[in-house]
Amino acid sequence: MILETLPTGPLQVNCYVLGCEATRKAVVIDPGGDADQILRLLQKHQLQLQMVINTHGHFDHIGGNLQLIEATGAELVLHAADSPLLERAAEHAAAFGLSATQSPAPQRQLQGGERLQVGELLLEVIHTPGHTPGGICLLVEGQLFVGDTLFAGSIGRTDLPGGDHQQLIKSIREGLLPLPETTVAHPGHGPATTIGREKLSNPFLR
């Protein structure tokens, strides 16, 4: 599996480019902006973008959706419960004094539990509501893309519309902590961590 991480957009969201080495098909997770740089990464590895997945609908994670889809024809995928957030992304950005490029509507709306195929890669969708109602994590080959559900030493904020602290803790405990401790968690912001490390030392999960 080809894996590249690129901080994107005004809030430096970690955008992940995953490519299947056998088929050169690719998925982009959370393009927060800077679509030109993402497209250059795809070109560098000679990858064909098949799917864009937003782990949730907050404006800082979706800024590159439109340009990537227009440039490649990729399918946009989001959990159904976060479609309203996606639709109001520009409004939410303005509340933070920022602007956001309006995203197209998702072509596929998830419910959780799906397996998304990109070339020979199989991404398991884990619904982890709490940061937002439709937050998801994506597990593929021991790599877990957690959006703003979990961070190194922390968890996602729950004081934004649709947030629910108790639900987020439940999502992490039931959906993520049972995974092998060696599973590498790639968050929406900041450095990667492991499930084992967070079980041992994350103060929010004690």
Between the alpha carbon of residue 147 and those of residues 20, 114, 123, 131, 155, the distances in Å are 21, 17, 14, 9, 10
User: pLDDT tens, 66-124?
Assistant: 999 999 999 999 999 999 999 999 888 998 899 888 899 999 999 999 999 999 999 99
Residue type, 71: A
- CATH label of the domain that carries residue 151: 3.60.15.10
Q: What is the pLDDT of residue 99?
A: 85
Domain that holds residue 86: 2-205
Pair 134, 78: CB distance under 8 Å: yes
Helix axes of 65-72 and 35-44: crossing angle, nearest 10 degrees: 40
Please tell me the number of Cα atoms within 13 Å of 128 on its side-chain side.
Answer: 29
pTM over 0.85: yes
How much of the chain is in helix, strand and coil states, percent to nearest 5?
A: 30, 30, 40
Q: What is the pLDDT of residue 46?
A: 98
> What percent of the chain has pLDDT above 90?
91
Evaluate the CA torsion angle 106, 107, 110, 114 in order and state its sign: negative
Residue type, 157: R
User: pLDDT tens, 142-187?
Assistant: 999 999 999 999 999 999 889 999 999 999 999 999 999 999 999 9
Provide the pLDDT confidence category of residue 4 given band limits of 50, 70 and 90. Answer: very high
User: pLDDT tens, 73-87?
Assistant: 999 999 999 999 999
Domain count, the chain: 1
